[in-house]
């Protein structure tokens, strides 16, 4: 069975695109923060390696994701758990510790609507 000839031009395009994509990612604040700070959660001090680095997030201290100074002064690295906790604390602070249940739409479905009929079918 003859093999297909290697399309070097196509391979070159793929490699060039991968390099461009990597360079663009490097310009993002996450990559900059990961180069700037040690891979340790700023709250719980959990250490990270390349194997679990996806669990380390960049938290914006002032909660403004558009404010990304080059010195990284608005960033801190937090694990996903501490990051979620920080945002929950911020929401509680903004709302005065009150969860806005009144803002939620009322439930319209009844999960037990057809329960009796399902039980009857199960007995037969």
What are the sequence ranges of the domains in the chain?
8-98
Tokens at 86, concatenated: 């920080």
Question: Is-contact 86 78, C-beta < 8 A?
Answer: yes
Residue 78: Cβ within 10 Å count: 23
Alpha-carbon distance of 108 to 61, in angstroms, equals 39
Using CA atoms, how far apart are residues 33 and 70, in angstroms rounded to an integer?
9
Strand duo 56-60 + 75-79: pairing: antiparallel
pLDDT per residue as tens, the chain (124 positions): 567 888 889 999 999 999 888 777 667 889 899 999 999 999 999 999 999 999 999 999 998 888 889 899 999 999 999 999 998 888 777 776 555 555 666 767 777 778 888 888 877 7
Q: What is the pTM of this model?
A: 0.57
CATH 3.40.1800 fits domain 8-98: yes
CA distance 68 to 94: 22
Residue 122, token pair as written in the block: 């199960």
């Amino acid at each position: 069975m003859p093999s297909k000839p290697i399309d070097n031009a196509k391979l070159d395009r793929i490699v060039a695109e991968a390099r461009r994509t990597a360079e663009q990612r490097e310009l993002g604040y996450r990559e900059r923060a990961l180069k700037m700070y040690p891979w340790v959660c700023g709250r719980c001090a959990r250490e990270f390696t390349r194997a679990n680095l996806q669990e380390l997030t960049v938290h914006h201290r002032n909660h403004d994701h558009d404010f990304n100074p080059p010195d990284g002064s608005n960033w801190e690295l937090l694990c996903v758990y501490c990051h979620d906790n920080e945002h929950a604390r911020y929401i509680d602070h903004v709302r005065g510790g009150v969860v806005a249940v009144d803002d939620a739409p009322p439930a319209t479905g009844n999960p037990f609507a057809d329960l009796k009929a399902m039980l009857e079918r199960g007995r037969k």
